[in-house]
Amino acid sequence: MAFKRYIPVESISELTINRLSVYLRCLQQLEHEGGTTISSQELADRFHLNSAQIRKDLAYFGEFGIRGVGYNVTQLREHLVNILGLHEERRVLMVGAGNLGTALSHYSGFNTGGFRIVAILDSDPHKLGKRVPGGLTVESVVDLAQIVKERNGVQAVLNFAPAQLKGHPEVKLKNVDLKINLELLSFFLTHAARMASV
């Protein structure tokens, strides 16, 4: 495996990592279609990406392409899987068995490609023991400490709640603000309308 083990992980932006996920989706699609080799330019043209950005992002992790030929689709897909750490199973614990937590607990995008939701917890006594679609049974959040201990600790938190969570130096926290996407669309609608009416 060509990728560098000594990259300073702090110096790589979340946006770079998000783009690696996008490249991975593209390569999976290409592989599915039977593609074997692709240049950064072809990859960019096909999926509306930026070829210089692709080369720059990948260069953090090694030399994957062959000059004048391009990337081997399967090999680059495997490299990205390794870089993103998707070759090992990640057990995910869902806290909150409300509508969104329950829906996400068996959202197909969260139970494939290395991730598996292994428990769903809630503080509401009325929800305890309830079986949610997908097969899990709601456990008590008061058992969180015990469950985490049995499962070798929580290493990262993905927060979908509108509330801000306090971070912990040893736990990676990522807030997902779903409304931000609606606000982005609102911005474009507002200004596109203004542009059109000027």
Collapsing DSSP states into helix, strand and coil, what is residue 181? helix
- 158: contact with its own copies by CB under 8 A: yes
User: Residue 138 CB, nearest distance to its own copies (Å)?
Assistant: 15
- 194: contact with its own copies by CB under 8 A: yes
- 182: contact with its own copies by CB under 8 A: yes
Kindly identify the residues of this chain, within the stretch 39-78, that bind its own copies according to CB under 8 A.
Answer: none
Secondary structure of 79-145 as H, E, C letters? HHHHHCCCCCCEEEEEECCCHHHHHHHCCHHHCCCCEEEEEEEECCCCCCCCECCCCCEEEEHHHHH
User: Residue 183 CB, nearest distance to its own copies (Å)?
Assistant: 5
**Pick 69 or 172: Cβ nearer its own copies:** 172
- 1: contact with its own copies by CB under 8 A: no
- 148: contact with its own copies by CB under 8 A: no
- 126: contact with its own copies by CB under 8 A: no
- 33: contact with its own copies by CB under 8 A: no
Collapsing DSSP states into helix, strand and coil, what is residue 66? strand
**120, 119, 72, 126: which is closest to 97 by C-alpha?**
120
Identified binder of its own copies from the candidate list 35, 113, 118, 130, rule CB under 8 A: 113
φ and ψ at residue 140, rounded to 5 degrees:
-80, 140
- 90: contact with its own copies by CB under 8 A: yes
User: Residue 74 CB, nearest distance to its own copies (Å)?
Assistant: 19
Residue type, 176: V
